[in-house]
Amino acid sequence: MRAWLDFYAQEFRTTFASFVQYRASMFIWMIWQVLEPLVFLVVWTAVSRSSGGTVGGFTQNDFSAYFITLMIVNHVTYTWIIYEFEYRVRHGSLSFALLKPMHPVHSDIVANVCSKTITTPMMLVVAIVLTLLFKPSFHLALWAVLAFVPTLVLAYVMRFMVEWTLALAAFWTTRVSAVNQGYYVAALFLSGQMAPLALLPHPVQVAANLLPFRWMISFPVEVFLGRLTPIEVITGLGVQLFGVGVAFVLLRIVWRAGVRVYSAVGA
């Protein structure tokens, strides 16, 4: 246990210093994470206004609350590994990671936590500014706010492992942009990023429930906003725990298979 703690502490210090040096790059990523939900917020606010004030039970203020909360949840759960792992394989930098005693996933965990440690306070400031501008309606219940914490943690863990597993496709193909783009589009529709899932056709809602997308992003948002009953929240937590378990098993299986066929391609 002491070795694990020392490893994480050292990795955190090193990675944190690196991120501080490249804070401009992190700021650019942050702008993108703010602009996307902001665009959808403006669109749905306009649709609501043109429809007499409500769309599917959502008022303008409800849309504001939804997309501001979504922005925070998406930021906390977001990972960039699916866009970076291809480079590691093609240029051979993964070879050095394989020589370390710790699994490469641990370095990515530290990097992700470091990134969130630096940028989350700034995202909260943005959320406060948007709250003042768009005047969202937050109908918060204490039990829902408390339940939001474990659902957000499980959403992060599930998303991290799902996307880390997906990134391993680079072991079999050196150009994974098509895979990443397909995943991005599916997540945009099925995780509630483009619109609340309650407004989408029933078949889409069914697909979102069966696939992991809802449980990685939309579910914590729905919990925080009090749009689910306690029974639905407990059921959703069970689904998240099951999804985390499945993702963990898949990650181990795909990793072992990928390492067997791995060879650094070069630039």
Residue % of the chain over a pLDDT of 90: 52
**Domains in the chain: how many in total?**
1
Residue 267 within a domain: no
- Give just the sign of the alpha carbon dihedral 186, 187, 193, 198: positive
Predicted pLDDT at 267: 47
58-59 and 54-55 beta bridge pairing: antiparallel
| Interaxial angle between packed helices 23-50 and 60-77, expressed in degrees from 0 to 180 and rounded to the nearest 10 | 160
Tens of each residue's pLDDT in the chain, 267 residues: 666 677 777 777 777 777 666 666 677 777 888 888 999 999 998 888 888 878 888 999 999 999 999 999 999 999 888 888 888 888 878 888 888 778 888 888 888 888 888 888 889 999 999 999 999 988 889 999 999 999 999 999 999 999 999 999 988 887 788 888 899 999 999 999 999 999 999 999 999 999 999 999 999 999 999 999 999 999 999 999 999 999 999 999 999 999 888 876 554
Give the domain extent around 210: 2-261
Q: Which two tokens stand for residue 108?
A: 């990515």
Predicted pLDDT at 173: 82
Which DSSP state fits 188?
A: H
Q: Which two tokens stand for residue 227?
A: 């749009």
CB atoms near residue 84 (< 10 Å): 14
Residue 83 within a domain: yes
Residue 191 within a domain: yes
Mean pLDDT across the chain: 88
Residue 266 within a domain: no
Non-local (6+) Cβ contacts of 139 within 8 A are 225, 226
Residue 100 within a domain: yes
Residue 45 within a domain: yes
Non-local (6+) Cβ contacts of 109 within 8 A are 160
For tokens 């390492």, name the residue.
259
Residue 217 within a domain: yes
Residue 201 within a domain: yes
